[in-house]
Amino acid sequence: MRSLWKIALFATAVFATLGAAACGGSDVPNTPDAGHADAAVCVPGAECDPFTNCGCDTAAGQKCAEAAGGNHCIAAGTKVVGEACGSDSECAAGSVCVVDNGTLRCLQYCDADHTCPADKACFIRVDDATGMQIGTACGSTCSLLGQDCTGAMEACYSSSTVSTMERGICVPEGTKLEGEMCTNGNDCAKGMTCIDSATPGNPSACRKYCDRTATPSGCDAGRTCNSLFGDTMTGICTP
């Protein structure tokens, strides 16, 4: 089956990206990576590296923090990845304080060369005070069927940053209902995503997620629960 999904847009204070699925539709555009190659040699006075903390006095408890105009060294905090935080200075080296699933937490920096743990995805935008993106962090994944996002007005949408097709990422939910025209996955209301029409030339539309292993699957009368890429439990209700 040709790809039908559409790309959804980003999350809150720290934003997000969604990926494509197979039943056809859109997900969220990929955010740029943090853009840092690990320094081969630590050079005193050189711009520091937030992944290795090269350039900072780690023995004195410093870490590298990303900022507009260049990275700089600050005192590292003691909170580990996953702990709630109030500012970046509370987080340990290699992490940053950003919103994930509705809560400020210390999150691990990530990019194409520094991947996330299996239960996370590299999609959380790290912005400076002006709103310019300066990096990306590992965020929580969610259940497409369970819709278990805890952030206010957030829903779970498919994402190319998540390797397990049963799971997605939490981003602000849309308002469009089933059958309404859409461009991005999170244009659609909670429990749906944006799917390409099976008829060439017809507009993309919001369609419900469904459970291919359940009876009933969750689709309305006249709809069929078709799979996403591969043999997935999660499907999409299509006419």
Q: Where are the domains of the chain?
A: 1-32+139-239, 58-109
Q: Are the beta carbons of 63 and 53 closer than 8 angstroms?
A: yes
- Distances from the Cα of 211 to the Cαs of 8, 58, 109, 130, 222, in angstroms? 21, 49, 34, 42, 16
pLDDT value of position 70: 73
Q: How far is CA 116 from the centre of its chain?
A: 11
Q: Are the beta carbons of 130 and 111 closer than 8 angstroms?
A: no
SS3 73: strand
CA dihedral 220, 224, 229, 231 (to 10 degrees): 110
pLDDT value of position 139: 92
Q: Are the beta carbons of 116 and 124 closer than 8 angstroms?
A: no
Amino acid at 56: C
pLDDT value of position 214: 87
pLDDT value of position 231: 62
How far apart, in whole angstroms, are the C-alpha atoms of residue 186 and residue 226? 20
Of 67, 99, 235, 225, residue with least CA distance to 166: 235
pLDDT value of position 131: 80
pLDDT value of position 137: 94
Q: Are the beta carbons of 137 and 101 closer than 8 angstroms?
A: no
Other beta carbons less than 10 A from residue 231's beta carbon: 8
pLDDT value of position 118: 84
How far apart, in whole angstroms, are the C-alpha atoms of residue 168 and residue 159? 5
Compute mean pLDDT per 10 residues along the chain, 239 residues long, and list them. 38 30 42 41 70 89 81 92 93 92 92 88 85 87 92 89 85 93 93 83 88 88 81 84
Other beta carbons less than 10 A from residue 48's beta carbon: 26
Owner of token pair 């990530």: 110
Owner of token pair 């994944």: 141
- Retrieve residue 22's tokens: 């197979």
